[in-house]
Amino acid sequence: MKRAILAIFVIGLFAVSGFAQTYTVASDTTWPPFEWADTEGNLLGFDLDVMRCIAVLQGFEIDIVSYDWDIIFDDVGIGRVDIGASGATITDERELKVDFSDPYWTSDQAVLIRVDSGLNIVTALSGGAVVGAQVETTGAGFVQGLIDEGIDVVLQEYSLYPLSVIDLINGNVDAVIQDEPASQASATAEDELTICGVIKTNENFGFFVAEGDPNGLLALLNDGVAQLKDLGVYDNLVRAYMGTDITKVEAAWKASIGLLNAGNVVDFAESMADLSN
């Protein structure tokens, strides 16, 4: 009898020690290079790998799910998912629904145009120009701000960013405004498009959690980001994801993810940076 109890206790200890808290992470995986799904269904991206590295460092597990941008703030806000990692700019409006971490990325808006349109950053945003943007993005907000100030520009909104790019190629819009990394990715992929200018909006991306941070995650996330920066992991991930060929990054990830799964954050980031460039 006593032996049985002891055995159960020991087994229990093992079970508990192997048990790690798992948090669900929502991400709108339609936005390279921050988050997207590769051809095997793996979810990768700058945001997601930063989250994965933080999880390894802080000792919790994460389960990343593809989520729709339209309801991501609502659902994280009420706690249906624990964390949101989706290239979200910290805005007052969004602060009403969710709690943001400290900024982990500073972004600017880039303006994409057709190479043969002859527009520059000023003419692309005035004089009756039609500018495309994704709904509920800060880019769309920026153009709306211009309209509110009386500048003659038209805002055309799209549910997804690639749709605005298609219209730009077709000539239905004169320019597309979107965060710099995504715009760069498009400019690399499309011969007929180029970035005519960057608007320094100094937007900050933050991870977000339910209002009131019931799981006490923000502290872990902020500390995690700080650690990643100290370890050089952050810079390596930037080198891996920003301005690189998406197919190379995907190959790099498949080759390197084993390192991360083994708990080796630093080598993972280094490998990513080396193989993506």
Partner 1 sequence: MRSSLFFERYTLRMSTIWQSFQLMIVRGLPNTILLTLGLVVIGLVLGTLIAFAQVYGSRPLRWLCKIYEQVFRGIPILVLILIFHSGLARSFHILLPAFVSALIALALRSGAYQSQIFRGAIQSVPQGQMMAARALGMGKIKAIRYIILPQAFRLSLPPWANEFSSVLKDTSIASAISVLELTKQATLSYTRLSVVPGFGAKWTLVILLVLALIYLVLTYAGNAGLRFLEKRLRIPGFELKGKIER
Kindly list the residues in this chain that would bind partner 1 in the complex (CB under 8 A).
29-33, 36-39, 41, 65-68, 70-71, 74-75, 78-80, 160-163, 165-166, 169, 182, 185-186, 188-190, 245-247
63 vs 74, beta carbon nearer partner 1: 74
* Distance of closest approach, residue 177 Cβ to partner 1, in angstroms: 15
Taking the least distance from each CB to partner 1, the nearer of 179 and 270 is 179
For partner 1, the closer of residues 231 and 246 by Cβ is: 246
Residues 6+ apart with CB under 8 A from 72: 26, 27, 28, 84, 86, 88
Nearest distance from C-beta of residue 72 to partner 1, angstroms: 8
- CB closer to partner 1, 36 vs 57: 36
Q: How far apart are CA 83 and CA 26, in angstroms?
A: 6
Closest CB 76 distance from partner 1, rounded Å: 11
Least Å distance between CB 236 and partner 1?
A: 21
**Residue with tokens 């190629």, as numbered in its chain:** 169
Sign of CA pseudo-dihedral 265, 225, 203, 214? positive
Q: Shortest gap between Cβ of 32 and partner 1 (angstroms)? A: 5
Strands (E), the chain: 22-27, 30-31, 35-37, 43-44, 61-66, 83-84, 98-100, 105-114, 129-134, 153-158, 175-179, 193-205, 208-210
How far apart, in Å, do the first and last CA atoms of the chain sit? Answer: 62
Q: What is the Cα–Cα distance from 89 to 202, expressed in whole angstroms?
A: 10
Token digits for 99?
A: 């709690």
Q: For residues 95 and 152, which CB has a smaller minimum distance to partner 1 in the complex?
A: 95
